[in-house]
Amino acid sequence: MLSKQMQKALNEQISHEINSAYLYLAMSLHSSSTGLPGFATWLRVQWQEELSHAMKLAEIVHDRGGRVSLQAVEKPPAEFKSPLEIFHLVLAHEQKVTALINKLYETALKENDYATQVEVQWFIKEQIEEEKNAVTILDQLRMAGESGASLMMVDRALAARAAR
């Protein structure tokens, strides 16, 4: 059974994951409207992944006898200056999520909730991958520049990402 504190922390993380999904959806829609279908695809897959993270957390709550309490979704920005700005935001956002996941793990430690500690370790590992992917794309965008054939090559490469 989950403690009230652990249930509250998991519910907060569910909210963060849904807000992450909403942000990625906004970025995807913006990219689609600016002629970058590969960026739109990559970000749409990210949107789906964040929703799956929220559901994974909800299943943890339910499996442990808790209740999920959804919270309001934050309105994301609708406009972005460039793909480079988007991926600077992606990296900053993933770093924020990493800090939140670490805080969730700390709560599980304080609550002596070993089962939740094990489950949250998956998210810790996932965040390493998320940050690495953002850094890789940022590096590619810095090399490609803001427009031209190189940017289109990055766009095509990102289009190849498939949902996990």
Task: Specify whether the CB–CB gap between 61 and 2 falls below 8 A.
Answer: yes
- The pLDDT-based confidence of 32 (bands split at 50, 70, 90) is very high
Does 46 have pLDDT greater than 60?
yes
What pTM was estimated for this model as a whole?
Answer: 0.95
> Among the ranges 62-71, 142-151, 152-161, which has the highest mean pLDDT value?
62-71
Composition of the chain by helix, strand, coil, percent to 5:
75, 0, 25
Task: Specify whether the CB–CB gap between 27 and 80 falls below 8 A.
Answer: yes
Domains in the chain and their CATH numbers?
A: 4-159 (1.20.1260.10)
Task: Give Cβ neighbours of residue 23 (< 8 Å, ≥ 6 apart).
Answer: 76, 89, 93
Amino acid symbol at 24: Y
Q: Could you read off the pLDDT of 76-126 as tens digits, one per residue?
A: 999 999 999 999 999 999 999 999 999 999 999 999 999 999 999 999 999
